[in-house]
Amino acid sequence: MTHGDHTFQHGDYTMRFSSFPGPTSRTFVLIHGIGMGRIVFDEVAEVLTLQGGVLVPDLPGFGDSPEPGTMATIQDNAELIERFIGSQATGHVTLVGHSMGTQIVAEVARQFPESIDSLVLIAPTINRHERSATKQAARMVQDLYGESPKVLAEGVVEYVKTSPLWFANKLRLMLDHRLEDVCPQVRTPTLVMRGETDRVCPRDWVREVADALPDSEYEEIPGRGHEAVIKSPEPVASMVLDFVARRTATPGANQ
């Protein structure tokens, strides 16, 4: 499927983004993790178009989006994504975040609950029991060991687009942000997911995230690690579609 390549501008921030056409009654907005970019969601986006249009931005300083003059906090990124949704999305909105992206989308749900009706957290960070840069780096290396060539190749391509200083500063802001404090304030129906073999986001931590959310479901992605959305679009895409269909069809669901 052909997708469009566009630019979104807000204040000092410029984001390149891809749009995948689909039914206008719903929009899926997909937010990548640290060091990654919109390309990691290409195959997932194709499947999600069965139920809606899909928008996938490169966050500022990652992928094809330039670094702004000042560093944006997780909360700043949440405000930027909320403005992006207001400008580009149609119909109901499902907001999906992977890794660092989960911190941003959870903040959107907390600060701007009216802008979305469903939320998906894939491999939520940062594990509060291992809140250090060295520990997180070690876990990432462990998780990548034995990964497929596709995962490693796409990871390398995206990481080389990010300056080391920008990456380091973003990691510091990730470590400063506490997802466990945000989750109890999120009322949006949420699907929390982790790869079955994810070493960055161990099961106990991700279940803790799910339990902290007032309205959540927890699922594991069989045979996947932290980079679950890169290896193949399935089963992640279908799990997201099933959740949205189920929850938005429930009487009293947030719509």
**pLDDT (tens digit, 9 = 90+) per residue, 102-134?**
999 999 999 999 999 999 999 999 999 877 677
Mean pLDDT of the chain: 87
Q: What is the pTM of this model?
A: 0.88
Strand order in the sheet with 4-10: 4-10, 13-20, 53-57, 26-31, 92-98, 118-122, 190-195, 216-221
Alpha-carbon distances of 191 from 69, 92, 124, 185, 227, rounded to whole Å: 35, 16, 11, 15, 17
Q: What is the pLDDT of residue 72?
A: 84
Cis, bond preceding 235 (omega within 30 deg of 0)? yes
How many other CB atoms sit within 10 Å of the CB of residue 17?
23
Report yes or no: 124 and 226 within 8 Å, Cβ to Cβ: no
**In the 8-state DSSP scheme, what is residue 152?**
H
| Single-letter amino acid code for the residue at 168 | A
Which of the residue ranges 152-156, 168-172, 176-180, 248-252 has the most confident prediction, judged by mean pLDDT? 176-180
Backbone angles phi and psi of 192, in degrees to 5: -110, 125
| Cβ-Cβ contacts under 8 Å for 157 (sequence gap 6 or more) | 39
**Residue 72, CB half-sphere, CA atoms under 13 Å: how many?**
24
Distance between CA atoms of residues 250 and 24, nearest Å: 20
**What are 133's two structure tokens?**
């840069």
For the chain, domains (ranges, CATH) are 4-246 (3.40.50.1820)
